[in-house]
Amino acid sequence: MSLSRPKGTRMETIDHLISAHWVLPIAPTNTILENHSVAIHHDRIIDMLPTADAEKRYQPQQKTTLKDHALMPGLVNAHAHTPMNLFRGLADDLNLMDWLQNHIWPAEQALINAESVAIGCQLAIAEMLRGGTTCFNDHYFFPDTIAKSAIAAGIRSCVGLVIMSVPTDWASDEDAYFAKAKQTLENFADNPLITWSIAPHAPYTVSDASFTKIRELNATLKLPVHIHLHETAFEVDESLKQFGKRPVQRLHDLGLLTPELIAVHMTQLNDDDINLIKNAGSHVAHCPESNLKLASGFAPIGKLIDAGINVAIGTDGAASNNNLDMFGELQTAALLAKAQSGNPTCLPADEALAMATINGAKSLGLDKEIGSIEKGKAADLIAVDLSHFITQPVYNPMSHLAYAVNSQQVSHVWVAGQCLLKEGELTRLNTDALLDAAKPWVEKAAKFGSEKA
């Protein structure tokens, strides 16, 4: 506390004051504040101000000083299949249909239930927290289990209520998926960390009738609708054959293109597709590493940005990436957008960081709550230690966060003010116990793997 504080000044007692070398609030854009502090009370950000002023104004119960760190909003992973952490590296370097039909789907049929989903999901949460992700948008079976896992771990999530025609242990047909979705929503007690989306799998696994039901649900519930869309050229071609129109056009005609739609992948787009998305105010979740690995194609990020479409960033599942490293993903996004557009000024560092934070929050309808460091928002924050020689010298911390940082440099993570990572160590999840619990599932999964040397 400053010795120069005038005697008798009334100081405000707060829970926590975090002081950092650099604070990147993300809103306003492209802003770097030096020697600033963020004041937290209960689960909220109540102030952001120069550290010298903060020390005169606030009497914190707890004080965290981050002298070599950048403090920024937590990363928002806009597309994940968390339980698939159990399948990381199970099968690689295959054609998409071979990968799905001969490896991933059989493994899911054999293994996926509430128990395995809980273990895989918690391992994924551990990985995401370690790398600075404070909120994830999930799309998988057993959403109630995923929500419970997220709450127990203290991370924020938007949990997809999956709808598809393919039978699984979760539901046997589209009607059963709807029933399960309804039941999950009704039975689950409100929790500030959990929101829900309706999650139709993809245009090729959901019928027009079901899309119509989803549109009606969307109109009533105003939940985000989270769908894989235009992932591959094959998907677009099949839609043209079966429906005589491209998937985006089909969803438009069915009334699904709304400001609540999160369209994941979007690698195969013509100008008409882009205009439809733009006019609807729908969101794109860009998963560059998965798109590259499966050779799905290149999402035209420069064009989407120019059209004013909100683009967020997601990792996809660990079976097709093969990590949930959002700093790595935003680096890939920032690099790839330049080459794809032929313009080295496309998606500069500050915009890439915004994509991975506030744009993700917008896509989930959570931008009043998270995605930037602003008074009144939830205290979802991360600190990144830039003192390591792999990020020295520091001319501009934003450049390093976009282009140089290693996710293991994330030192602290707070969600709703709760510290979930401290000096690089997880505070809640016991990963050794989780890996032990995973063992029998891993043994079962191994037989669905691609042939080894």
Query: Which residue, among 361, 408, 366, 410, has the nearest Cα to 72 in the 3D structure?
Result: 410
By the rule CB under 8 A, 293 interacts with a second copy: yes
CB of 138 to a second copy, least distance (A): 18
Query: Which lies closer to a second copy via its Cβ, residue 59 or residue 392?
Result: 392
By the rule CB under 8 A, 349 interacts with a second copy: yes
Query: Which lies closer to a second copy via its Cβ, residue 64 or residue 268?
Result: 268
Among 41, 81, 130, 148, binds a second copy (CB under 8 A): 130
By the rule CB under 8 A, 390 interacts with a second copy: yes
Tokens, residue 244? 């005589």
Site residues for a second copy, 401-430, by CB under 8 A, read 402-404, 406-408
Query: Which lies closer to a second copy via its Cβ, residue 302 or residue 417?
Result: 302
| Helix count and strand count (H, E) for the chain | 17, 16
By the rule CB under 8 A, 344 interacts with a second copy: yes
By the rule CB under 8 A, 329 interacts with a second copy: no
CB of 152 to a second copy, least distance (A): 16
C-alpha span between 75 and 78 (Å, rounded): 9
By the rule CB under 8 A, 453 interacts with a second copy: yes
CB of 308 to a second copy, least distance (A): 20
Pair 323, 127: CB distance under 8 Å? yes
By the rule CB under 8 A, 108 interacts with a second copy: no
CB of 239 to a second copy, least distance (A): 19
Query: Which lies closer to a second copy via its Cβ, residue 229 or residue 280?
Result: 229
Size (the chain), residues: 453
Locus of tokens 């079901």: 210
By the rule CB under 8 A, 289 interacts with a second copy: yes
Stretches 59-67, 291-299, 375-383, 412-420: which one binds a second copy (CB under 8 A)?
A: 291-299
Cα–Cα distances (Å) from 227 to 189, 205, 284, 309, 404, in that order, read 25, 11, 10, 17, 31
CB of 156 to a second copy, least distance (A): 20
By the rule CB under 8 A, 221 interacts with a second copy: no
Cα–Cα distances (Å) from 395 to 31, 62, 401, 406, 407, in that order, read 14, 31, 12, 17, 19
CB of 323 to a second copy, least distance (A): 5
CB of 185 to a second copy, least distance (A): 31
Cα–Cα distances (Å) from 126 to 118, 200, 401, in that order, read 12, 26, 21
Pair 325, 44: CB distance under 8 Å? no
Give φ, ψ of 348 to 5 degrees. Answer: -65, 170
| b/e sequence 339-370, b meaning 16+ C-beta within 10 Å | ebbeeeebbbbbbbbbbbbbbbbbbbbbbebb
By the rule CB under 8 A, 105 interacts with a second copy: no
Query: Which lies closer to a second copy via its Cβ, residue 113 or residue 450?
Result: 450
Amino acid code (one letter) for 424? G
CB of 314 to a second copy, least distance (A): 15
Site residues for a second copy, 236-275, by CB under 8 A, read none
Query: Which lies closer to a second copy via its Cβ, residue 82 or residue 291?
Result: 291
| Other CB atoms within 10 A of residue 219 CB | 11
Query: Which residue, among 250, 297, 298, 302, has the nearest Cα to 276 in the 3D structure?
Result: 250
Strands 261-265 and 283-286: parallel
C-alpha span between 191 and 118 (Å, rounded): 18
By the rule CB under 8 A, 77 interacts with a second copy: no
By the rule CB under 8 A, 345 interacts with a second copy: yes
CB of 189 to a second copy, least distance (A): 29
Query: Which lies closer to a second copy via its Cβ, residue 242 or residue 343?
Result: 343
By the rule CB under 8 A, 291 interacts with a second copy: yes
By the rule CB under 8 A, 205 interacts with a second copy: no
